Structure formats: structure tokens, C-alpha cells
Structure 1
Amino acid sequence: MARPKTYLDLLKAVDSFPYIDIARTPNDDHEESSYYQLLLPSDPRPHGYMLPSVVKKIPWTSDFEVSHDCPRTVQVLDKSHGRDTAAACNQAFASVIARAIESGAFATLGRPFREDYKILGAKYPSVQLLRAAAPLFGVCCRGAHMTAYVRTDEGMKIWVPRRSAHLFTYPRMLDTTVAGGVRAEESPFECIVHESDEEASLPTDFVRKHARACSATTYVEQRNSGFGGEFGLMVPVCLYLYDIELPFDIVPTPRDDEVEEFYLWDVDRVKKALANEEFKTNCAAVMIDFFIRHGIITDENESDYLEIISRLHRALPVPTSPTAT
């Protein structure tokens, strides 16, 4: 019988990329130190880190300049010559990703994520690229998660959904009450509003009035072959976290085909599910953050408390604001 997982075990599973300084690690034969820096026009800061295997497979266009010198770089060129740098970047990404899709080199590009992610921290808004391609370029992926709970005479209870069996990733595992990737054109809050309706049938007016922005968690994944055939993808992630207290007469109900059913569980049942690795990996991190904010996990009852806090708020290796250096 497998040993129950600790909260720190669960966080290490999602924050899985080695704690190395990618930008300062010299190029050599080790995969984790061979990443190419993704550079935007007129900006020396790397906005992503790409595997050599990915750089080799992408059918590059003349909008990019690839250098194999140290440091290895993939430079996006500004064909607009400063007149509309963002539009030039977006066109460059769209063209090269279209060619990559046509080539069939990456299984991940066949997924049904047709919306764009914006590149967090770009100097000129809004530079964006296809969501399914974001991990290949190593750019920061943004998501928004909301945990819904109810206060009862027996204590707090939490609404926990089970993912549908047909989903490509983590089928039938437990999830956050409401969650989704943040599209380039929307805010994290607007993401929560539309996902609340689509995934849980929650009243839009109620969500707009009562959803509370409360935190954010950051981590860096090392993707395995299950995410498109490229082991070692470096994927920085920022999840914006929201809470909402629901009255008894508002019950989350599946609307789309991503959720199989919802459970209303007490804290002890959720703890057991976490220990048994029943949650999708990043949703386990979201639940742990929820437990900390609500005083369920404290320094008094958790020996790894400070390490857990650190793991939930990892410094990302890419800019998170236009002025970050």
C-alpha cells in the first residue's frame, strides 16, 4: 500500500522543475542546462526557455533568428520596425505555430485549445500565442481557480468536482470547484465568471458580487512525455486564486462535459483525498493554499509549513511585469 502523500510531496509533484538558475547555467550536454532563451524585440529579458529538441523540430520562419552560440537564443524579429511591435510578434508566432501544426511534429498542438495566452511581462501589450503552443516556447501560462465552500453546523464543507473520463489530461481526478486558463483578452476575474457558468452553472450575478480574489500561486513544471512527447519542457505557471462562500440553495451543477459530478465534502474528506493523490496536481496546490488561508494548515500543526509557503510562491524565471528586470 502506497504511503500517504504529505502536503510537501504534493507541491514537489507540481513544482517539479529543478531549482536551478536557468539563465546563468552554462550550455553543456545536460538537458536542463541547454535551454534556448526566447527573446522579444528590444528586450534583453528571456520570456521563455525552449528545449533544444523543440527548437530543432519547429519549422522556423524568417520572423525568427535562432542562435546556437552561448547563450542560445530564439529572437523574435520586429518586421514592423517599431510601428506595431506587438502585432508583428503576434503574426510571427501565429505563422510559425501554423507551420508546426501542419508538420505534425508536436502532439500537444492537436489539442482543442484554440484560444491564445498572452506573454506575461511583455513590454508592449498584448503579445500572445496559441495556448497549446505556450509550453513549447516556455512562456508563463496563466490560470484562475476558485474554491467554493459552505459553512455548516458541522463546520466548513468544500465543493469538489470530479473531472470527466474523456478528458485528455487527468481524467476522473478531482479538481478545483471552478478553474480555467486565462485567455489573452480577459482578466483572471472574467475567466472565473465565465468558467463558473460553463463548468458549475453558478449564477453570474452572484459570482460577480461574491467571488473574492485572495491569492496567487506560482510554480515551475517540468513537463513529461504525456504533454506532447517532449520530456523536460520548462513551464512557468501563475494561478490566480479566488474563494466564494455559497448559500445552501446554490448548488454547483455540471453544465459542460468537463465535469462528471460535484461532491460537498468536509475538510477531513478533502485531506484524505489529497493524501491519496486523488486531485489533479495543480489543484492539490490550490487546495493547500486554501487550507493555509483558512487556518487549516498552520505552523503549529505542519512541520513543513515554511517550505510549503515557499513552494506555493516560487520566483518565476521569466518577467511577470513590463518593468521587471
Structure 2
Amino acid sequence: MAAGSAWAEGVLQLLRRMNSFHGQGSSKPLCKPLYVAGQEVGLVLPRVIPHLTRYPEIFQVTDREQGRVELSSRLSSYEQRSCAIQRVLEEWRDQRLFDCLSGWRDEKYDVMARFSDDPLLNMERSATSLFGVRRYGVHVNGYVRGGDGGMAMWIGRRTHTKQTYPGMLDNLAAGGLSAGMGVKETLVKECAEEACIPESIAATARPVGTISYTYEDERGVFPECQFVYDLEVPADFVPEVGDGEVLEFYLWPLEQVKEAIAGSEFKPNCAMVILDFLIRHGILHADNERHYHQFIEGLHRAL
């Protein structure tokens, strides 16, 4: 296999992995849709459903047609729904019922059918995979443009104590959208906390789109949408380790970054964000990569 073909196959494997919920052998056909106030907001794993029947005042599980899970209509407000779900999740955590809850974050994510909708409730971050609710985040491509027009990209390495993907390569800054937080607000916050980027620089980041994917692993189902920003930083700017989530930063030529995303060192969704960068900046296109259309499809697969 030629070197270019090997690289492309590595990227295709990445995209298949990050869209594994759509593939053969996933639990997708066995999941039940989760409805709140008449809106579908998630997909409940089959191993979770039997435990919901212990809370008939909160969950109604039906077997009509393919079946569904509904949050009780008696829980009519954001606060009531959030408190009811929190009580259940705390019981499950204390009972050590699901492994994903051992990574309890004390961080809430808003739950809604679409990002443009008002949130219906919030849920502990570590539990969202049990209910297949969509998670949103922000990722920042930090890059420098040289005098010859070439680009280099700032890459972070996650600390070895991170709960997820320890020691792997990451974007310059990234983070999930906590309940009540805006997208640009989260970007500025993560830039400051992770890389000590002053707001005067972070605020110049350009919104360039989203990537979407749904994967499944031993923790559950992860439908995710990442808001992507490009941030061109001054040539003399050097990010610094901030809150301890990043071990160190590297400034790599774009070709080196391109080669690395097809390997195993990058946190997978960060590799996807960089793949999107390479496509948007014309580094990859239909005339130099025969899998170009597959790359684009793999970056934008909704649940």
C-alpha cells in the first residue's frame, strides 16, 4: 500500500470509529427514543431501560410499536426535570450501577432537541451517554502563518491524569458547553484556562462551522456536535500551560500535523477538527485525495 493510501485509510478508520453508532453491531436498533415535553432528545441504551421502571413517577416506558421512554408530564419545568434526573443519577452513582458514572464531573449539560431550542433540563455530564443526548463543545484550531504563506499549528498534549484520553494530542483549546454557557463565552474561557490566551487574542477567533458524529463505546452513546473556530495567533505568541489539563504545547508544521491525525496519538474528535481545517484551507481537495467526499461525509453525520 502506498504511503498516501495508508494515510487515507488511517483517516477513514478514524471516521468509522467516530461514527460507530451507525455501523454494524451497534446498539442503535435496540435503543428507545427519549422524549421530554413531546420532543425527542436522545436514545436510551437497552441496558438502561430496565432500571427506569423503578421510577414510574419520573419515567414512562412504553412497548407500543418500537417503544419509547418519556419523562413524566408532571415534571413541567426545567428545574423539576433537572432535579428529578439528578436524584436518579446520584442513586445510580452511589450504587455503582454504570461504569461511566465513576467519572462523575459535577458539571451539567443542557438537554434540548436542537441547539436553537430552549433547554428542557440539565444532566450530569458523565451520564449523558446512558441517554444518548447530544453534547456540544467548542474546538479551536490555533495556527501561525509564516512569511512564505505556510502554516504551522499549535498542538497541546493532554496530561496523563485526564479522565479521558490521557496523554493524547489535542487542539490548542477545547471544552464542552456547560449548562447556561454560550459558545463564544466557552471559547474565551477555555482559551484562558487551558492555554493562557488573553481575551484580546481569543476574541479574534473566527467561527468556521461544525463537525458532527456519533460513536458508541463501553460508556454509552455519544452524539456530539463541535463548534469549530480558527484562531490565527501572532508569530511571537506562545501558549502557556494554564489549569493543568495540558502537559505542554508544540508548534508543528501543518504537514506534520496532517500526518499525525491518521495515527493513534490524537484524541479522535480533535483529529477530526484538524481534518476539517485541512479541507477548508484547501490542503485536501478532490484532485489530490480520492477519499475527499468520504472525509466530508464522515465529518457531518447527525444522529
Superposition TM-score, scaled by structure 2 size: 0.90
Aligned residue in 2 for 1:180: 175
The counterpart of 2:134, out of the listed 134, 140, 143, is 140
Cα offset for 1:126? Answer: 4.5
Structure with the larger RCO, 1 or 2 (CA within 8 Å, 6+ apart):
1
Aligned residue in 1 for 2:31: 35
Name the aligned partner's letter for residue 131 of structure 1. Answer: R
Residue 67 (str. 1) matches residue 71 (str. 2): no
Instruction: Indicate if the aligned counterparts of 1:78 and 1:85 stay in contact, CA closer than 8 A.
Output: no
The counterpart of 1:240, out of the listed 210, 216, 227, is 227
Residue 163 (str. 1) matches residue 150 (str. 2): no
Residue 291 (str. 1) matches residue 278 (str. 2): yes
User: What does 1:60-139 align with in structure 2 at a 5 Å threshold?
Assistant: 60=55, 62-80=57-75, 84-121=76-113, 124-139=118-133
- Name the stretch that deviates more: 84-93 or 108-117: 84-93
Unaligned stretches of 5+ in structure 1? 21-28, 228-232, 317-325
Once residues 61 and 243 of structure 1 are traced to their aligned partners in structure 2, the CA distance between those partners, rounded to angstroms, is 47
Residue 219 (str. 1) matches residue 213 (str. 2): yes
Unaligned stretches of 5+ in structure 2? none
The counterpart of 1:198, out of the listed 189, 193, 207, is 193
The counterpart of 1:307, out of the listed 273, 294, 297, is 294
The counterpart of 2:255, out of the listed 268, 277, 297, is 268
Aligned residue in 2 for 1:56: 50
Cα offset for 1:19? Answer: 5.2
Q: Secondary structure at the match of 1:277?
A: coil
CA gap 1:78/1:91 in 2 versus in 1, 3 angstroms: farther
Name the aligned partner's letter for residue 16 of structure 1. Answer: S
Superposition TM-score, scaled by structure 1 size: 0.84
Once residues 199 and 12 of structure 1 are traced to their aligned partners in structure 2, the CA distance between those partners, rounded to angstroms, is 29
- Name the stretch that deviates more: 178-187 or 266-275: 266-275
Aligned residue in 2 for 1:16: 20
Cα offset for 1:250? Answer: 1.9
- Name the stretch that deviates more: 247-256 or 50-59: 50-59
Once residues 234 and 193 of structure 1 are traced to their aligned partners in structure 2, the CA distance between those partners, rounded to angstroms, is 28
Q: Secondary structure at the match of 1:153?
A: coil
Once residues 274 and 65 of structure 1 are traced to their aligned partners in structure 2, the CA distance between those partners, rounded to angstroms, is 44
1:264-284 CA distances to partner (integer Å, 9 max, x unpaired)?
Answer: 000111122122222111111
Once residues 232 and 33 of structure 2 are traced to their aligned partners in structure 1, the CA distance between those partners, rounded to angstroms, is 43
Once residues 244 and 181 of structure 1 are traced to their aligned partners in structure 2, the CA distance between those partners, rounded to angstroms, is 18
Q: Secondary structure at the match of 1:269?
A: helix
Once residues 111 and 132 of structure 2 are traced to their aligned partners in structure 1, the CA distance between those partners, rounded to angstroms, is 10
CA gap 1:126/1:54 in 2 versus in 1, 3 angstroms: closer
Cα offset for 1:196? Answer: 0.4
Instruction: Indicate if the aligned counterparts of 2:104 and 2:125 stay in contact, CA closer than 8 A.
Output: no
The counterpart of 1:151, out of the listed 120, 145, 152, is 145
CA gap 1:216/1:131 in 2 versus in 1, 3 angstroms: same
Aligned residue in 1 for 2:11: 7
Once residues 27 and 272 of structure 2 are traced to their aligned partners in structure 1, the CA distance between those partners, rounded to angstroms, is 27
Instruction: Indicate if the aligned counterparts of 1:35 and 1:52 stay in contact, CA closer than 8 A.
Output: yes
Residue 250 (str. 1) matches residue 264 (str. 2): no
Cα offset for 1:201? Answer: 0.5
Once residues 135 and 216 of structure 1 are traced to their aligned partners in structure 2, the CA distance between those partners, rounded to angstroms, is 20
Cα offset for 1:160? Answer: 0.5
Query: May I ask how many residue pairs the two structures share in their alignment?
Result: 295
Instruction: Indicate if the aligned counterparts of 1:160 and 1:263 stay in contact, CA closer than 8 A.
Output: yes
